[in-house]
Structure formats: structure tokens, C-alpha cells
Amino acid sequence: MEPAAPAEAPVEAPSEAPPPVAPDGTLHLLWVNAGLSCDGDSVALTAATNPSVEELVGGAFPDVPRLEVHWPILAFPTGPAGGSDDFLEAFHRAVRDELGPFVLVVEGSVPNERIKDEGCWAGFGSDPETGQPIPTCDWIDRLAPRALAVLAVGTCATYGGIPAMQNNPTGAMGLPDYLGWDWTSRAGVPVVCVPGCPIQPDNVSEVILYLLYQLSGQAPMIPLDGALRPEWQFGPTAHQGCDRAGYYEEGIFARAHGEPECVVKLGCWGPVVHCNVPKRGWINGIGGCPNVGGICIACTMPGFPDRFQPFMDPPPGAAVSTAGSGIYGTVIRGLRRLSEGIFDDEPRWRVPGDELRSGYVPPWRDGGGTATSGAVPVELDGERHRRADPDPTG
């Protein structure tokens, strides 16, 4: 097999900081899905609802640049290389600085092409002159320095994921590993990582919308955590948004799948995993791993999957934390049952009869024109209230 072809002849990348994209301008989205992955993140994004892909590409949001998508799963130009409708032409034009402002999206792990003598681990399109695949790494090398922002979509692209497991033959890694964790784009934006296996669709569509506002000068720098994830999406843990978290607090745990209680003892990593899926759901607010009976396997974490295996075994700290929760939860359950016995009942004055027992004090004067004066205490449900004193003139 012949060596893989380079994407383009080397072209020096622009060094000056770009101006904001005009709100009435166009921002291109170049999506390279040819890393080491299963395309599951592309498929998942088609289910986005808040915002939806249709809203992003259809101009549903006012005062933001028009988004022109070059994405293999949703592309208008779909012709062969060299044809009049060549899908890859936009990517070649971007390398030649002829396309206009763009955001680069990478899906899939980045292989190490330097550990072998020939061929390529992953390629995106073919060189029309040689017919050889153009390595994905070459596209990243040429497009990333020209992009206004670079977005890594899915855990494979963000941190390496399953293709980067121990003993893998490709030397796979995440995009921040490849470009550098302190790398920034022409516009000063770090690599933006939206992990997930696959991604929660609204997380990605929401980030794309945020970048549209930011790159047009209408939003501040996107806030990222230490793992380059959007803080507002990945700050809380899965446990904090889980429907089953209340059971954990009371020390009640499921013993088998299908039971409604907390599933930490069945292998769930939710208490230490930064993920909003249990709270946000999967599609249109519905679903989410523990919400529907599954366990959290930590797929949004940089150490996934190696540090969280075997998936079905309880986490190492689960024995200590669940034991403590069991002791604490027993006390909490007792106090709550006591409160339920007091407050899960109606007040005693809600009964039929000839006497008003609610403690109501009439504000009007009596028939003789004398205002009621003073008040006498009455007992209602063990509490002292005051009611109008009878008219002293009778």
C-alpha cells in the first residue's frame, strides 16, 4: 500500500486575530467524522430538539450568522471528488483560505499516524491526483489553525474513548491530546469538548448556538471546566440530577435491575461523574441512563472506559459510601416518617357542625353598635389563638 496523501500542500495559516462574524454573515461548520469512531454522535445529533438541527440551519435564531453545514450526514453537496457538487471542495477551500469563517468539528479519536511506515489509520476523502486516502490528522493539522473554534464531539474525539483503551494498536487520543490542552484557535477559543458515548444531542446543538453568538461578538468566552467541557452542562454530577438520588440519601438501594431505588450497588458511577443526562434526558427531556433503569458508566469522563471497568461491578468506594448512607439514611427515614405522620393529615377544624372551629374573628361591629373589644385565648389543635371577647354589655 502506498503512503497516504497529504490533504493539501502546506499553506501558512493566518496569524492575525479575526474580526467577529457579522450577524448577517455566514459561518461555515466543517464536520470531520473520520476519526476512529462509530458515527454514533452524528446520528445522535439528528435527535436534538433544543435547539434542533433544523432550527440551527434554518435561521430560526435572529441576529446570528447564517450557519452553512458541511456534515457528511447532512450536506447538500454530495458529489464525488472533482465533480461539480464535490462535498470535499469546502474543506479544500478552507485550507486555501477561500471559504470564509468556519468552525471545525471533529468526531472520533485521533490516531497516531507517526507510529507506522505506510498507510493511515483513518482518512477523510481521497486525493484526486493519487487516489490515496487523505489522513484525518492532515485535515486537522491544516484546518485547526484556520478555524475560529474547534469543537470535539463525543468521548472518542474529546478524550480518546474506546479506541484509545489500553493495548489499542493505533495510539489513539483525544483532540486536546493531539493539539495540546492549552491550544487556542485564531479567535482565542480553547478546544471545546462535548463528551458522551454518544453525545446528548441538545448539549452539542446548544454549544453550536452559543458559538454562533460568541463568534459574532454577542456572548462572552464560552465557560469551560478543567476538562474543557462547558461548565453549565457538565458542572453537576449525574447523581445530583438523578431521579433516584433521594433513595441514596435514605440509604435504600436496588438489589437487582428493574427496581426503582438507587443503583449504585449495581455499578452506577453517577455520584462522581460530571454529566447532565439524568436531568436533561436523551430526547426532548425524556430518558437518561439511570432514569430508565440503567447505570452510569462514566462515558463523559476523561478516564473512560479504562478507569471505570468492569462496568457492572460496584465502584470501589461504593461499599463505604453506601454503608454510611445506610446508617445516616435510617435516621433520616425515621425523622421523615414522623413528619409525615404529623403533616399528612387535615386540621381538626375541617368538620361539619353548628360551631365554627377555625378560629376566625369577625371584623364587624355587633348589632348594638358597640365594637368588640379585647380577645380571649382559645385552643385549636394545641395552638393558642385569640378571638373577640364577648360584648360586655350583653
Per-residue pLDDT tens over the stretch 140-152: 999 999 999 999 9
**Domain with residues 26-234, CATH architecture:** 3-Layer(aba) Sandwich (3.40)
Per-residue pLDDT tens over the stretch 165-217: 999 999 999 999 999 999 999 999 999 999 999 999 999 999 999 999 999 99
Per-residue pLDDT tens over the stretch 248-284: 888 889 999 999 999 999 999 999 999 999 999 999 9
Spatial separation of the C-alpha atoms in residues 177 and 273, rounded to whole Å: 21
- How far lies 321's CA from each of 148, 324, 325, in Å? 45, 5, 6
What local confidence, expressed as pLDDT, does residue 308 receive?
Answer: 93
Would you say 185 and 221 are in contact if contact means Cβ atoms under 8 Å apart? no
Q: Where do runs of H (alpha helix) occur along the chain?
A: 40-45, 53-57, 89-95, 136-143, 155-159, 175-179, 201-215, 231-234, 245-249, 277-280, 318-343
Checking if the pLDDT of 1 tops 50, the result is no
| Residue in the structure block whose three cell numbers are 463568534 | 215
Fold of 239-328: Cytochrome-c3 Hydrogenase; Chain A, domain 2 (4.10.480)
What local confidence, expressed as pLDDT, does residue 389 receive?
Answer: 47
Instruction: Provide mean pLDDT across the span 87-104.
Output: 93
CA angle in degrees (0–180, nearest 5) for 232-201-53: 110
CA nearest neighbour of 27 among 62, 71, 66: 66
The pTM for the full model equals 0.81
Checking if the pLDDT of 383 tops 80, the result is no
Per-residue pLDDT tens over the stretch 350-363: 889 888 888 888 88
Where does the pLDDT of residue 14 fall: very low under 50, low under 70, confident under 90, or very high at 90 and above? low
Q: Is 388 helix (H, G, I), strand (E, B) or coil?
A: strand
Same fold, 26-234 and 239-328: no
Max CA distance (Å), the chain: 116
Checking if the pLDDT of 365 tops 60, the result is no
* Mean pLDDT (the chain, rounded): 86
Residue spans of the domains in the chain: they are: 26-234, 239-328, 358-394
Where does the pLDDT of residue 81 fall: very low under 50, low under 70, confident under 90, or very high at 90 and above? low
What local confidence, expressed as pLDDT, does residue 320 receive?
Answer: 66
Whether residue 198 has a cis bond before it, omega within 30° of 0: yes
Pairing of strands 149-153, 192-194: parallel
Where does the pLDDT of residue 49 fall: very low under 50, low under 70, confident under 90, or very high at 90 and above? very high
Checking if the pLDDT of 394 tops 50, the result is no
Per-residue pLDDT tens over the stretch 369-381: 444 444 445 455 5
What local confidence, expressed as pLDDT, does residue 153 receive?
Answer: 98
Instruction: Provide mean pLDDT across the span 70-91.
Output: 75
CA angle in degrees (0–180, nearest 5) for 153-9-140: 10
Checking if the pLDDT of 46 tops 60, the result is yes
Where does the pLDDT of residue 79 fall: very low under 50, low under 70, confident under 90, or very high at 90 and above? low
Residue with more model confidence, 332 or 11: 332
Would you say 178 and 140 are in contact if contact means Cβ atoms under 8 Å apart? yes
What local confidence, expressed as pLDDT, does residue 212 receive?
Answer: 96
